[in-house]
């Protein structure tokens, strides 16, 4: 019998980086920010992905890399915001000092019903804007996967508002790479997802920008994808976990509106720190030659 270890790491490759001298310099800057051994600090970088120059902030926590490869957190800001504001507000050096956070800046976009003003944001669905943000994620992940000091099995994605929508999209399209997603005050996914992924959803009951109903719909969609039972376990603090799921599936509600729930940040960190990709499945494949060798020869009589 021949044994094959099946790894589903998606279509990740350094080919997303342009080959111009500017792009090479940006790639080197990113490589420096993520170099091993890790050095605590924050870097602002610009890199070229396809035809676009993308801005990225990398924050290496003061305890990142101690005791083993560091967990990588992709963090996506809300529409009209920026990565620095979200990093500053979360104070991750204090609440999650072991993490390496990669926080890109969105490209300009508009939303129907919100006027004609264009602001930084993210694609909501597969193929929107020619997948410019998925390509950005893939390019950044390709850098992460090359470094032994970063844990390739514990890459997670979280975002606020429009960034939460994008995290849900990544959960659908890149479940083979992501150990978990944590959408906060957002909606989606906009299509049925095929592969289970650990999910922590948080939404304010007074949210008037993205309705609480949308947050509950997100939870319901992932319950379906993760093949959960109808019952839930009360975790306290406004959180509940669906039972019998293929991957952990949690919903947390809070009293506030369209905001990041500061009272749930420790729970957010705790959940994401616990997640890692499932062990790849071992599939036994019987080859034709082996089948023939195991067949009893005819007696010839």
**Angstrom distances, CA of residue 110 to CA of 69, 92, 119, 122, 249:** 39, 30, 7, 10, 31
In a structure prediction context, what are the per-residue pLDDT tens digits for the chain, which is 301 residues long? 332 222 233 333 333 333 333 444 555 688 889 999 999 999 999 999 999 999 999 999 999 999 999 999 999 999 999 999 999 999 999 999 999 999 999 999 999 888 889 999 999 999 999 999 999 999 999 999 999 999 999 999 999 999 999 999 999 999 999 999 999 999 999 999 999 999 999 999 999 999 999 999 999 999 999 999 999 999 999 999 999 999 999 999 999 999 999 999 999 999 999 999 998 765 455 555 554 544 444 444 4
The pLDDT of residue 18 is: 38
Helix (H, G, I), strand (E, B) or coil at 14: helix
Domains of the chain: which residue ranges?
18-277
The CATH architecture annotation of domain 18-277 reads 3-Layer(aba) Sandwich (3.40)
Q: How far apart are CA 83 and CA 66, in angstroms?
A: 25
What's the half-sphere exposure (Cβ side, CA atoms, 13 Å) at 267?
22
DSSP per position, 131-156? GHHHHHHHHHHHHHTT-TTB-TT--E
The pLDDT of residue 115 is: 84
The pLDDT of residue 28 is: 61
- Whole-model pTM: value is 0.85
The pLDDT of residue 58 is: 97
The pLDDT of residue 288 is: 54
Condensed to tens digits (0 to 9), the pLDDT of residues 28-61 reads 688 889 999 999 999 999 999 999 999 999 999 9
> Residues 122, 163: contact at Cβ < 8 Å?
yes
The pLDDT of residue 280 is: 73
Q: Which residues contact 76 (CB under 8 A, 6 or more apart)?
A: 103, 104, 106, 122, 157, 158, 159, 160, 162, 163, 164, 166, 167
- Beta strand 52-60 with 100-104 is antiparallel
> Residues 55, 45: contact at Cβ < 8 Å?
yes
The pLDDT of residue 30 is: 87
């Amino acid at each position: 019998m021949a044994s094959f270890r099946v790894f589903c790491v998606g279509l990740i490759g350094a080919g997303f980086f342009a080959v111009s001298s500017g792009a090479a310099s940006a790639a080197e800057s990113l490589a420096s920010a993520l170099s091993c051994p890790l050095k605590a600090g924050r870097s602002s970088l610009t890199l070229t992905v396809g035809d676009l120059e993308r801005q990225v902030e990398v924050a290496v926590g003061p305890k990142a890399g101690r005791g083993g490869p560091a967990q990588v957190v992709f963090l996506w800001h809300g529409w009209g915001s920026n990565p620095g504001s979200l990093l500053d507000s979360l104070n991750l050096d204090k609440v999650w000092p072991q993490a390496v956070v990669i926080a890109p800046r969105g490209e300009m976009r508009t939303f129907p019903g919100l006027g004609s003003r264009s602001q930084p944001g993210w694609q909501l669905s597969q193929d929107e804007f020619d997948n410019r943000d998925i390509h950005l994620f893939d390019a950044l992940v390709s850098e992460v996967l090359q470094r032994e000091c970063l844990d390739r099995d514990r890459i997670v994605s979280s975002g606020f508002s429009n960034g939460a929508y994008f995290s849900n999209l990544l959960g659908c399209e890149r479940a083979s790479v992501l150990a978990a997603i944590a959408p906060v005050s957002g909606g989606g996914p906009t299509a049925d997802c095929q592969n289970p992924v650990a999910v922590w959803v948080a939404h304010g009951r007074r949210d008037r920008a993205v309705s609480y109903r949308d947050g509950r719909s997100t939870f319901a969609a992932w319950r379906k994808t993760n093949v959960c039972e109808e019952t839930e376990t009360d975790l306290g603090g406004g959180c509940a976990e669906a039972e019998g799921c293929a991957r952990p599936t949690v919903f947390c509600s809070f009293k506030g509106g369209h905001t990041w729930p500061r009272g749930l940040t420790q729970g957010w960190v705790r959940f994401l720190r616990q997640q890692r990709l499932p062990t790849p499945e071992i599939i036994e494949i019987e080859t034709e030659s082996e089948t023939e060798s195991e067949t009893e020869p005819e007696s010839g009589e």
